[in-house]
Structure 1
Amino acid sequence: MYPYKRRDFFKKLSLGVTGTVLFPHLISETQAQKMKHSSPLSFKNSESFWEEVKSQFKFEDGLHYFNNASLGSSPIPVQTATNAYRATLDGFPSKYMWSDWYDDKEVVRKLVANFFYVSKEEIAIIHNTTEGMNLIARSFDLESGDEVILIDHEHASGTIPWEFWQETKGIKLVRPKIPLIPTSKEELLDVYKNAITSKTKVISMCHMVNTNGMILPVKEVSQLAHKNGIKVAVDGAQSAGMFKIDLHDLECDYFAASAHKWLFAPKGIGVFYAKKHSQKDLKPLIVARGHKDNSIRRLENYNTRNLPEYLGLGESINFLNQIGIDNINNRSYELKSYFRSQIADNPKFIIKTPESDDLSCAIQTLEVKGMNVKTVKTELYETYGIDTRPMSTFGLNGCRISFGIYITKKDIDYLINALNTIAS
């Protein structure tokens, strides 16, 4: 393991803590197991604390980054650790690629499993959400006439695998429309109820849609599906890390997520969950020695792979654990609420995201009335250095604004002042 120093940004911020609290290195298996039952570092939930969290992220000078839903930034400790792993690997390539880091990879698996409240035997470390959705869509031996439900707001990486691997075999892809701004989970659940038939075999769904940040009722859909013998696969790219997720509580069969968004991990690494009794239906996308392994590891058996990023994922989980997932969860909703409250009385703004905390979190899509979204996006960036994602589909005509944990209320004030000027 490669030694390195990390900046202490928790000093003086935690309740009663005046000494140094360091981010831990990749910890032992025993310590990782204990983390599931340990409390995160307690602190005063103040803006000064979140300013310190912000200081752990390094963006280009003048950039105000509200586009985490597209791609996240890794904090300085994660970058430092990943670069150290890379240097170690290049120092003795064959040693670290195929032998010395096996136990460390298992520690990462355990850290990820604990983060999502599941067993490490239900977690594979893949490349991204797209790979996970391909793995699922490729695995099923469906027959002509069978049906797979995918709502109209699914991401292309969630639909194309089903089109390529299954629709070409005569499987019917059912594409029901959901309301753009539903008022309740029941309204969304009814869409799935009405789409299910005796031929439905799989429901493939986003946890949070990328267009306007709407949260879909995965648990309720899973319960409905399982009563009808239907498997549920979830694209968790936009939810994993934004708020607290207990994958067992969601009751879905499969969950795939890119770790480079809200988990702030190195790019090109992802998380795949498969419920223990649902793993039998899965086939690896890539086969190599060990493909007959009965454990979930057969799904990540690429032989040679980018292990510094793999281990860097563990450092990302350590970073988030130091802050605490409950604190991150609460902060995500706090920033959403603060943003909405600051623009609520301005008739020039139309929020295109559901208001209820059951239906949205740290992604909000905003239309400036009477202006094309591309014009607004360009003005935000070129004049104010604010990066957002323009959304034109489904009549949104709005900028998708995402609030990573490095966003402070001062940042939101700056954004709102810019929007007010542009709108006027």
Structure 2
Amino acid sequence: MIDRRSFLTKTSEAALGATFLPLTSTEKSLPQLKKPLDKSDAELITDESFWYQVQQCYVQNPHFINLEAGYFSPAANVTLEDQIDNVRMINESPSFYMRRKQFEERDALRQQLADFAGCGTDELIMTRNTTESLNIIIQGLTLKEGEEILRTNREYPSMIQALDQRQKRFGTPVKVVPLPLVPDLQEQIVQLIEKAVTSKTKVILVSFMTYLTGQVLPVKEICALAHKKGIEVIVDGAHAFAHVPFKISDLDCDYFACSLHKWLCAPLGNGLLYVKKGKASKIWPLFGDTDFAEDNIKKLEHFGTQPCANQLSIAAAIRFHESIGSSLKASRLNYLKHYWVSKVKSFPKIKINTPLGEGQSYAICNLGVEGMSPNELVDTLYSEYKIFTVAIDNDDIQGARIAPHLYTTIKELDKLVEALTKIVSK
């Protein structure tokens, strides 16, 4: 016989449980993007009436033009509203949600993200950003004394620092291979890496798309080369994921990391780490966890209490992305780059630091102006023309990184061209 207290407890739990519907039941309605039936995707790339609909799905600060999508991008309105709803839902039942629903819903989300990324649920964990994901691998890899990690000279500073820390802590040698700024062919990159490999090389760290210039590196070919020599490959996919059209399985890499708040437009503080099936046992967790078997990737997902509302809204970001399509999105981003670059690349004093060949870059492009430091150029663009971007000043690369997104209008890019025209004419 159930006593009154037990009955009330069970009834209350059932009532609370009913408020947590499956992810698919709480989805916000996607905006109805009307694609003209008489136009192919190739024609839609330049159909400004269609992209106006997409632009209306974002809210942007009206006081400046945002051409810095590379740091992180705003969530589309539907994703933002979903995040707000999730914050309210969890805030209403905080400990109950965290103890009773958190892991169930994270696993449902894991399945959606794995399907989108092109890997198995047993190969993926959710993190807070690329840096965290890559540190799990870099600091956790099991290597023998003298075994070497090879990286390029185009890697992100946080990753260089992570490798430096590993070298200081474990004595792991780190070798750097310099890459050309604008290679003639992608094969040139593969050849330079192959030439730098030695019998001591056991791991290669390479960016899919460099943060400096948006240059796309031939990671699939690098992975194929490495595996022939028994070398593992870590891919920094921060700028490529949901930007370049690909699936992780296409690359055949061993480890892959990215931030979901960049080109996927998920809420800030979301990342992904992929570990190829069978390799999790080689990685020590960044935070100790003995609840899972050595070969279970979930042992790497122990971060303590997490901002679940942010994570849950990854699903809404995926749905919005898929309503446009990966291929069409990538083509549009590539078009936006070529639109403004084609108008200024022949200007005196302007240097384009990004390769423009087919598949060598997409939205991001780096340009320098002769006689101006990167900071001077970026400050001038903002102070005089209200165009916001970021300065890149790194060895042989000096310029402004221009990174439009789907919310960027042609009118805004025309203002960039007008500003650059005035700057170089002074």
Q: CA deviation at 1:133?
A: 1.1
Alignment of 1:191-340 (within 5 A): 191-288=192-289, 290-292=291-293, 294-340=295-341
Do the aligned partners of residues 346 and 42 (structure 1) sit closer, same or farther apart at CA in structure 2, a change above 3 Å counting? closer
Please give the per-residue CA displacement for 1:190-220, whole angstroms capped at 9, x wherever unaligned: 1111111111110011111111111111111
Paired amino acid for 2:362: C
**C-alpha distance in 2 between matches for 1:4 and 1:249:** 32
Match of 1:95 in 2: 96
Paired amino acid for 2:385: Y
Q: Normalising by the residue count of structure 2, what TM-score does the alignment of the two structures yield?
A: 0.88
**C-alpha distance in 1 between matches for 2:132 and 2:71:** 17
Paired amino acid for 2:86: Y
Paired amino acid for 1:399: A
Match of 1:172 in 2: 173
Contact 2:166 2:172 survives alignment (8 Å): no
Aligned length: 400
**C-alpha distance in 2 between matches for 1:197 and 1:9:** 53
**C-alpha distance in 2 between matches for 1:273 and 1:234:** 10
Please give the per-residue CA displacement for 1:296-352, whole angstroms capped at 9, x wherever unaligned: 222213342110011011211111111111111211221122222222332232101
Q: CA deviation at 1:53?
A: 1.4
Do the aligned partners of residues 61 and 4 (structure 1) sit closer, same or farther apart at CA in structure 2, a change above 3 Å counting? farther
**C-alpha distance in 2 between matches for 1:44 and 1:162:** 43
Paired amino acid for 1:14: K
Alignment of 1:106-145 (within 5 A): 106-145=107-146
Contact 1:243 1:332 survives alignment (8 Å): no
Q: Does 336-345 or 353-362 show the bigger shift?
A: 336-345
**C-alpha distance in 2 between matches for 1:141 and 1:117:** 26
Contact 1:153 1:211 survives alignment (8 Å): yes
Match of 2:357 in 1: 356
Q: Identity across aligned pairs (percent)?
A: 30
Q: CA deviation at 1:408?
A: 2.4
Paired amino acid for 2:32: F
Contact 1:260 1:267 survives alignment (8 Å): yes
Q: Normalising by the residue count of structure 1, what TM-score does the alignment of the two structures yield?
A: 0.89
Contact 2:233 2:254 survives alignment (8 Å): yes
**2:32 aligns with one of 10, 16, 23:** 10
Q: CA deviation at 1:146?
A: 1.3
Match of 2:86 in 1: 85
Q: CA deviation at 1:281?
A: 1.4
Do the aligned partners of residues 5 and 231 (structure 1) sit closer, same or farther apart at CA in structure 2, a change above 3 Å counting? closer
**C-alpha distance in 2 between matches for 1:289 and 1:200:** 31
Do the aligned partners of residues 228 and 7 (structure 1) sit closer, same or farther apart at CA in structure 2, a change above 3 Å counting? same
Paired amino acid for 1:10: Q
**C-alpha distance in 1 between matches for 2:232 and 2:290:** 29
Q: Does 313-322 or 108-117 show the bigger shift?
A: 108-117
SS in 1 for 2:279: helix
Do the aligned partners of residues 61 and 287 (structure 1) sit closer, same or farther apart at CA in structure 2, a change above 3 Å counting? same
Contact 1:373 1:398 survives alignment (8 Å): yes
Contact 1:222 1:232 survives alignment (8 Å): yes
Q: Does 333-342 or 315-324 show the bigger shift?
A: 333-342
Match of 2:186 in 1: 185
Match of 2:59 in 1: 58
Please give the per-residue CA displacement for 1:224-268, whole angstroms capped at 9, x wherever unaligned: 111111110011111111121211111110110011111111111
Gaps spanning 5+ residues in structure 1: where?
18-40
Paired amino acid for 1:184: L
**C-alpha distance in 2 between matches for 1:174 and 1:16:** 53
SS in 2 for 1:277: coil
Q: CA deviation at 1:288?
A: 4.2
